[in-house]
Structure 1
Amino acid sequence: MTLVSRASLFSSLSTLALLAAPAAAQNQDPPAEQAETTQADVASGDAIIVTGTRRTDRTLAESPVPIDVIGGEALTETGFTEVNRILNQVVPSFNFPQPSITDGTDVLRPATLRGLSPDQTLVLVNGKRRHPSALLNINGSVGRGSAAVDLNTIPPLAIDRIEVLRDGASSQYGSDAIAGVINVQLRRRPGGQFQATYGRYHTSLKDVPTVTGVQLGANGQPVIDADGNFVLIDNGEDRRARDGDTITSALHYGFAVGKTGYLNLTAEYRNREATNRSGYDPRRQFPTVGGLSDPREFTFDRLNHRYGDAETHDLNLFFNAGTELGAAIEFYTFGSYSTREGESAGFFRRANDARNRNFSASTTTFVPFYPTGFLPLITSDIEDYSLAAGVRGTVSGWNWDFSHVYGHNGFDFGVANSFNTSFGAASQTRFDAGGLRFGQHVTNLDVQREFDVGGLHEVSIALGAEHRHENFDIVAGDVQSYAGGPFAAAPFNAPAGAQVFPGFRPANEVDAKRHSWAGYAELDADITENLTVQVAGRYEDYSDFGSTLNGKIAARFAPVEWFALRGSASTGFRAPSLHQQFYSTTSTNNVNGVLLEIGTFPVSSPVAVALGSQPLQPEESKNYSVGLTLTPGEGLNITADWYQVSIDDRIVVTENLQGAAVVALLQGAGFNSITSARFFINGIDTRTRGLDIVGTYRIRDTGFGNFTLTAGYNRNKTRITDRAVLPTLPGLTLFGRVESLRIEQGQPRDKINLGLDWDSGIFGATVRTNRYGDVLVPAATAAGDETLEARWVTDAELRLEGGEGVQFAIGANNVFDVYPSRASVGGVFGTNPYFIPYSSFSPFGFNGRFVYGRMSVRF
């Protein structure tokens, strides 16, 4: 879909919602369950929760497990319009690094909860399982080897609240809920809201000086430093950037349908330009001419890389609807359609780079294909859609709910401004590199009833069954995107495939499917007014690996009204994803005139089996938590929870297995052209321990307005407790130092969230500040390790009510223009820090100050 057609669609939906406005005039005040969740509800603990229990009357304050509730207004009163970035501001145990130069991960970035993997957190929408993306994050970023749900497809304006359950819940919801559950509840109340936000980065790159030229020696030639690079002249001032212009327009409208129905529509369009936080490249760019530097070296633009946010264009559409079919039956449906076009960059290829050689024009001398070098680009086209429908009602005292959800995500790769060196002048410069597809069907039947049991205060029993069907596909790209051309063979030995992202081959194509059945039971009982006990169990059977049985017990004891103890113990699991079982990509490298295959192989492939791979088994966890809740005064709530999550058979990607032993084993199995391979294994056991403290204090009618103060603290530590060994290669390192330390120390050890919301008459303000703890950026040896030191990042916003539902706001994210620690030359990135100055491991990104304005109209 083109940008013009998307804009037209957005305009049409806006017009439709405005034309439907008269229907809203027929509505009465919405019932309590349709009213918007406010900060006051959250602060008081009176918000009804629907996550972690299937009871219909459980409040946040009464929950036996820790839950964060983020109201809709907290999601829209910020300069960021992506859900992952917003949650990173307000949930202490949530981490959202923003990597760059990581292929598809640049435009579909994963987030984590409690320091665990992105795919170990279950995402629900309206209590129903949300499908993950088709993209497998396979490069060197946090979440490597996982496929995550793309929360950024959900417009904040469509959300009533988000409930974040910080506890293992596989026994209640099934696979993936090891770290917890994020449940997005959509708006269903009448009324409309239009919101437009514009912002851009106004920043100075910390410790990246502005370069004005190349230093020349007495001979008129560039001065060369100890690393063999040119010495550049700088003016002593940090480089300034004004980029990343982002325009987001969103419209939400809810109205009545007949006497009992409702329909809520949300449309969001976001146009985000790329950011660039690269430094100046001091390397020689052109071949020498008669032993002298090419004159173009003196005028070349040395900001030749693009390191930062990808350029993206997003269209997100959501609807949420329902109506009564009879006295005790309701039909409901909700769904979404999203597209995202992205463009990100790889590493710059210099004019004198061997990968830039035009073999058609040069057989003995070097002639570049791109005369001044080139920056290859990865383009992405993502299509995501979902549709849910169900009926629910009451019969003989039982509340029942029958539903079906289908979700699909497609991720197509393209390559631009590049070429396949092995084809010479006949090479394309744009390529279709193929794509990934993932689809998921989920059918649920849930029943729940409350009973009067002698001697007990209140008892709720829930039973349910689920069937899930999933499929994963890989689609091949253009022939030139992966193939070796006429110059791939000796004596030229040119590399094959489109540079920056070789395409998927026909041999990589797969159409994998599986299904599973599950049944669960849940008992939630108020034994007395002071004691609540919850017990749950779930059995699941998968067509690919077998069955699993998990259980949970949780309790809350409140000896006095203002103090309670709570705790839980549970087992959990995460089924190996189809991505991890069947993902395949290979590239051809020329080594000493011989074409060799290097790549990622499915665990069941003959190559992986020859190296000792085994069918993947589910990750298994044991979760424990104990905590307390305090409400010592009106409007003041404090919770503290300690937790431990032990995971056995955690699924990871091996190192690139290579060397004489690997080659000998592969040749013995008949694979003479493969020298390096990697695949997924149940490779490690881990233990994560942490502490969450969350406090909220609401002060009303002070004479200076109303105040809401929030504070959150998370401390988290993960350790690898055991490692797998391949029986065929017992001395080989399967999971090396860099990847091990990325899991153990690649996310903040601790994080603090502090917030202040104030409103008085027509004025309002929000100030948030977050401290992100130390993060280790590991190298091959300890001598090269670098530490991103702890940083405070502050956001501020001022609002003005203009009357008639109109609100204006101005603000800044990262007001004080804070950057992560500067990478040092010779450390983790070798000489790259000259032009890649900041690590992608930074938990708050590396873009600097974002200044914005927003207009909102409620009607």
Structure 2
Amino acid sequence: MLLATAAVAQEQDVELAEVVVVGSRGTPRLVTESASPIDLIDGEQLRATGFNDLSKALQFLAPSVNFPRSATAPSAANTRGVTLRGLSPDQVLVLVDGKRRHASSVLNFNNVVGRGTVPVDLNTIPLAAVERVEILRDGAAAQYGSDAIAGVVNIVLRGADSQSFTSLQGGATENGDGESAILAAGTSFDLREGSITVTAESRYRDFTNSAGIDSRVGRITNRQGDPESLDLGLVVNARLPLGDNDLYGNIIVSQRDSESAAQYRAPNVSPLYPDGFLPLIELDMLDMAATVGWSRPLSAWTLDVSNTFGSNRADFKVGDSVNTSLGTSSPTSFDAGGTRYQQNVLGVTLTRPLDVLSGANLAFGLESRYEMFEIDSGEPASLLGAGAQGFPGFNPPSPIDESRSAWSAFVDAELHLTPAVTLGAAARYEDYDDFGDEITGKLSAMFKPTSVIAFRATGSTGFRAPSLQQQYFSTVSSQSSGGVLVNVGTFAVDDPVSRALGAQPLQAETSEHVSAGIVLTPMQGLTVSLDAFRIDIEDRIVLSESLSGPAVAAILQQAGITNASQVRFFTNAADTETEGYEITAAWRGTWLDAVRSALTLGYMSADTSLEQIKSNTVVPSVPLLGLASIDLLTEAQPEDKVTFSSMQSWGPWQLRVDVTRFGKYKNVPVLLEQEYGAVTTVDLGVDYELTPSMRLSVGVINATDAYPDKIAQRALLQGGSLQYSESGGLGSDGREYYARLWAGF
């Protein structure tokens, strides 16, 4: 027969692969048994894509995930977060083994998607150390705390059951740039009745460049693409049972050295560079996290106590540059300063099953969180006058060394009224010492009248506290304004300059999130789901438009600001509404009695509209948000997305085909708004089992050599050299090849 259901053993493996822990504090359950939509992506599937890092791999496998790929912005090009359902990167809560992950210290202050946000940098977690990723596509602030407005990404690390391995991968784009090399290894050691799992990864990628000829000088002057980067990562994951006690913990350390390009400066900028120059921004980043936990039975309850510490340090240097205010005596390289962020989360949770109701669960918890943010100023030569070209360096008016504390209490319950009906409820009270408190709640329900069909729905409120970076960040940076490079000053909310221009103390974002869906399992191995959602967010925290004009110039002059001509600050300026739906389908089985097959199809459509913009009451002639900023909130990400993945295995061979279609989007690349069309990319991979413990993989990424639409007004932007928008989803690297050798032991 052409199609056949999988063998019993394979069916059991499929069920085990679909078990998730995110979204509930009860026992692990199948994806199809969750009242909230959840995507589960296996670590092997992520690595099989051939992508260099976790964020890219997720983007091409999960329909609701987007990974905006800024190329020329020093902050956004080096610490890029993922988005969910078309919202902002900091509206996604990231967990590692169920514990809150710390954010980057670097705020995205450039004019790209995620502008003004502080994301969690997923690429600080080595892809080789990931066992699976669970994506909860639902509001979950009541369950997990602030930031979970769009949903939750839970990264599960490799544990004792993982096979020891070593692997080597190399690749490059068809254009000859973007050379990459990834060396990874992992193993586990017995520790009494427990284990320690160690994974190490070294990842290098040279820069890619899709810039065109600069009409002003007749040659390529810019870089547009991925930055050059070297990432070194080490993950240690341990568990040690001691009688009734269970000790566990992990350590994640990541070091990144990267180099990205600012925009080209013409020959008339400085006599030190008669042919013009391209400033290079160097990042030296150290990211560390450690979790230690203890759990044990306590009568009918289970007690879990854990502490998670996270730290991110980022130092910037500017090379091949000049400070024009210093004339010919200017140095050509500068220490631009850096940022520091630390977070410590102490949590206590009590859970118990309710024996009188099979499968029911009750949980209580307390959580204490401490955060610290610091800005180190750049050297004087990078700050004086016009400042270092490309990035004038961090230059807050006063030292930035801020901290805050927060605590929360929550209750989370699931109740199985009958085998067909499951109800859930959660509530959380969270109090911050710097801006106030919030209460959030969530209700969920699932009705499964037969094994073939299930109905599910959730309703929740959520919030996102303003980050320390958004409250206190201050610097001057070079930005493109109407195709012209200008120095823009970003000032803290409580800075006199910001207050004089209408800044108000930041409030928390608040949200209402409702979703409803249906899950079908019409045959063994086949699952289909459809979920619709609506997310209303009030008081969204955004970076204001770059404010300019006579009123702004007068305020800057009065404040003694000479190295910036435009001003921006953070504000609760916008209310938005996001509506959409998602469709997923997955089938696993065999055909021709020999070929094992896994097919997945996903579709997401999300439309974000601006419901209200608050006015600037102090300077009403200067709007807080213009079209460019509004588009970054509502239009700059693909309006829909399709993902299709096919894995066919027979004998020693395995063939993988991934197809991704990014929908249309809009932004303002120069002066006028532009709409960019949909684009489809196809990735191909072939694996061959050389021996039972050795596998060779070769593949091509973007086999169709697809590119996004070019900027229509690119002649106005750096002489036409910068050809592509930094919004959308695909990027501009073109076709890429890779080969990987994997050995298990």
Q: Tell me what 1:681 maps to.
A: 571
1:575 corresponds to:
465
| Partner residue in 1 for 2:178 | 244
Matched, 1:197 2:169: yes
Query: Residue 363 of structure 2: which of 462, 465, 489 is its match?
Result: 462
In the other structure, the counterpart of 1:58 is 29
Match of 1:350 among 244, 262, 266: 266
2:648 corresponds to which residue?
758
**What is residue 630 of structure 1 aligned with on the other side?**
520
By percentage of residues, which structure has more strand? 2
1:44–1:637 Cα contact (<8 Å) kept: no
Letter in 1 for 2:253: Y
| Structure 1 outlier segments of 4+, above 6 Å | 38-42, 669-674
Aligned-partner Cα distance in 2 for 1:76–1:779: 34
Matched AA of 1:385? M
Partners of 1:348 and 1:611 in 2: CA distance = 32
Superposed CA offset, 1:409-458 (max 9, x none):
111110011111121222111111000111000000011001133xx444
Is 1:330 aligned to residue 246 of structure 2? yes
1:316 maps to which of 209, 233, 237: 233
1:811 maps to 699
Q: CA deviation at 1:659?
A: 2.2
- SS at 1:105's partner residue? coil
Q: Is the 8 A contact 1:42 1:71 kept in 2?
A: no
How far did residue 830 of structure 1 move?
2.0
Deviation sequence 1:358-410 (CA, Å, 0-9, x none): xxxxxxxxxx2123222111111111001110101212121121000110011
1:371 aligns with 2:280: no
2:741 is the alignment partner of 1:840? no
How far off is 1:273 after superposition?
A: 0.6
| Distance in 2, Cα, partners of 1:372 & 1:46 | 58
SS in 2 for 1:106: coil
Q: 1:569 to 1:500 in 2, by over 3 A?
A: same
Cα distance per residue 1:23-49 (max 9 Å; x no partner): xxxxxxxxxxxxxxx996785486321
Q: Structure 1 unaligned segments of length 5 or more: list them.
A: 1-37, 203-240, 286-299, 357-367, 485-495, 590-595
TM-superposition CA deviations, 1:307-326 (whole Å, max 9, x none): 21110011011110010122
Q: Identity across aligned pairs (percent)?
A: 39
CA change 1:502–1:663 in 2 (3 A) is: closer
Aligned to 2:64: 93
Deviation at 1:780, TM superposition (A): 7.0
2:322 corresponds to which of 411, 419, 432: 419
1:545 aligns to what?
435
3-state DSSP of counterpart to 2:113: coil
Mark the CA change 1:792 to 1:331 in structure 2 (over 3 Å): closer, same or farther.
Answer: same
Could you tell me how far apart the structure 2 residues matched to 1:547 and 1:831 are? 45
Quote the residue 1:791 is aligned against. Answer: 679
In the TM superposition, what is the alpha-carbon distance from 1:722 to its structure 2 partner? 0.6
Q: Which residue of 2 aligns with 1:160?
A: 131
3-state DSSP class of the match of 1:467? strand
Do 1:777 and 1:828's aligned partners in 2 also have CA atoms closer than 8 Å?
Answer: no
Structure 2: which amino acid aligns with 1:787?
A: E
- Match among 115, 120, 128 for residue 144 of structure 1: 115
Partner of 2:26, secondary structure, is coil
Distance across 1 between alignment mates of 2:137 and 2:550: 46
Distance 1:420 1:117, change over 3 A: same
What does the per-residue CA deviation read over 1:263-301, in whole Å, with 9 as the maximum and x for residues that have no partner?
000100011111111111121x4xxxxxxxxxxxxxx7x
**Corresponding position of 2:737:** 851
User: Aligned in 2, Cα 1:577/1:41: closer, same or farther, shift over 3 Å?
Assistant: farther
2:189 — aligned with what? 255
1:389 aligns with 2:292: yes
Aligned partner of 1:172 in structure 2 is: 143
SS for the counterpart of 1:738 is helix
The residue identity in structure 1 corresponding to 2:186 is H
Give the root-mean-square deviation of aligned CA atoms: 2.0
1:474 corresponding residue in structure 2 = 375
Residue 837 (structure 1) shift:
1.4
Name the amino acid aligned to 1:243: D
Q: TM-score, normalised by structure 1?
A: 0.82
2: CA distance, partners of 1:506 / 1:147:
18
Moved more, 369-378 or 706-715: 369-378
How far apart are the structure 2 equivalents of 1:819 and 1:506?
Answer: 39
Match of 1:621 among 511, 528, 532: 511
- Read off the aligned partner of 2:742 and give its amino acid letter: S
Displacement of 1:664: 5.4
1:508 is displaced (CA, Å) by 4.9
Deviations 1:108-127 (A, max 9, x none): 22221100000000000000
Q: SS of the residue aligned with 2:115?
A: coil
Given candidates 284, 305, 318, the residue that maps to 1:402 is 305
In structure 1, C-alpha distance between the alignment counterparts of 2:396 and 2:577, rounded to whole Å: 40
Tell whether the 8 Å contact from 1:755 to 1:767 is kept in structure 2 after alignment.
yes
Residues in 1 aligned to 2:535 and 2:528: alpha-carbon distance in whole angstroms? 23
Aligned with 1:661: secondary structure?
helix
The match for 2:331 among 419, 422, 428 is 428
Q: Which has the larger radius of gyration?
A: 1
**Match of 1:478, as an amino acid?**
E
Counterpart CA distance in 2 for 1:775 and 1:769 is 19
Residue 834 of structure 1: how far off its partner (Å): 2.3
State the Cα distance separating 1:97 from its structure 2 match: 2.1
Q: Which runs of 5+ in 2 are unaligned?
A: 1-8, 480-485
Per-residue CA deviation, residues 561-619 of structure 1 (Å, 9 max, x unaligned), is: 11000000000000000000000013799xxxxxx995111101122122222111100
Structure 1 residue 671 displacement after superposition: 6.2
The question of 1:126 aligning with 2:67 is answered no
Take 1:282 and 1:426, find their aligned partners in 2: how far apart are those partners?
30
Q: Paired residue for 2:256?
A: 340
Tell me, in whole angstroms, the C-alpha distance in 2 between the residues paired with 1:57 and 1:306: 47
Q: Does the Cα contact within 8 Å between 1:310 and 1:344 map onto a contact in 2?
A: yes
Structure 2 Cα separation of the partners of residues 670 and 336 of structure 1: 44
After TM superposition, give the deviation of residue 549 of structure 1 in Å.
0.2
Cα 1:598/1:560, change in 2 over 3 Å:
closer
Q: What is the CA distance between 1:792 and its match in structure 2?
A: 1.1
The answer as to whether partners of 1:123 and 1:149 remain within 8 angstroms in 2 is: yes
Match of 1:307 among 224, 232, 244: 224
Distance 1:41 1:793 in 2: 33
Cα 1:344/1:546, change in 2 over 3 Å? same
Take 1:520 and 1:608, find their aligned partners in 2: how far apart are those partners?
Answer: 37
Q: Deviations over 1:65-93 (max 9, x none)?
A: 10000012111212113000000111001
Count of paired positions: 729
Shift of 1:464: 0.3
Question: Which whole-Å CA distance do the structure 2 matches of 1:531 and 1:587 have between them?
Answer: 56
2:124–2:254 contact (8 Å) kept in structure 1: yes
Aligned partners of 1:807 and 1:855 also within 8 Å = yes
The letter for the 1-side match of 2:367 is E
SS in 1 for 2:632: helix
Matches of 1:69 and 1:154, distance apart in 2: 18
Q: Partners of 1:43 and 1:505 in 2: how far apart?
A: 54
1:46–1:60: 8 Å Cα contact kept in structure 2? no
Take 1:656 and 1:738, find their aligned partners in 2: how far apart are those partners? 10
Residues 707-786 of structure 1 aligned to structure 2 (within 5 Å): 707-778=597-668, 784-786=672-674
Q: Deviations over 1:475-525 (max 9, x none)?
A: 0111101113xxxxxxxxxxx211100012363530010010100001111
Tell me, yes or no, if the aligned pair for 1:91 and 1:712 is still in contact at 8 Å. Answer: yes
